[in-house]
Amino acid sequence: MDFDNSKPIYLQIVDFFYENILSKQWQEGSRIPSVREVAMMVEVNPNTAIRAFNHLQDLEVIYNKRGIGYFVSNNGYTTVLDIKRKEFLEQNLPNLFKQMSLLDIGIEELNNAYNQHKNEEE
């Protein structure tokens, strides 16, 4: 795993979990790798991995079955979706708007670009 230099590593691990959950690679209610396995996978100090697990547990994305391991919560998918949507609306969009006004790109132009992208996908 390559790390982005500015974001704390534990949050980057959290993002890695989100991706797996959103892409349904980790199903709701299914077991996820242990702290040690994750630490090994991303080559970090296990303390950092623990921090990521605790963060996700606080957000109720995952839960711990004592002695068995960690599992994706039953509504883990929707929880993550909410979090990421909120993040997009509150952080990514304002950044985008800032860039748009700097570069003088209007909403119509954006709309056209969006439609074009959609068409290409189909």
- Contacting residues toward another protein, per CB under 8 A: 3-9, 36, 39-49
Task: Please say which residue, 13 or 73, places its beta carbon nearer to another protein.
Answer: 13
CB of 87 to another protein, least distance (A): 13
Q: Check: CB of residue 70 under 8 Å from CB of residue 30.
A: no
Q: Check: CB of residue 32 under 8 Å from CB of residue 71.
A: yes
How is 98-119 classified by DSSP, letter by letter? Answer: HHHHHHT--HHHHHHHHHHHHH
Task: Please say which residue, 18 or 76, places its beta carbon nearer to another protein.
Answer: 18
CB of 104 to another protein, least distance (A): 21
CB of 50 to another protein, least distance (A): 11
Q: Check: CB of residue 59 under 8 Å from CB of residue 83.
A: yes
Task: Please say which residue, 5 or 23, places its beta carbon nearer to another protein.
Answer: 5
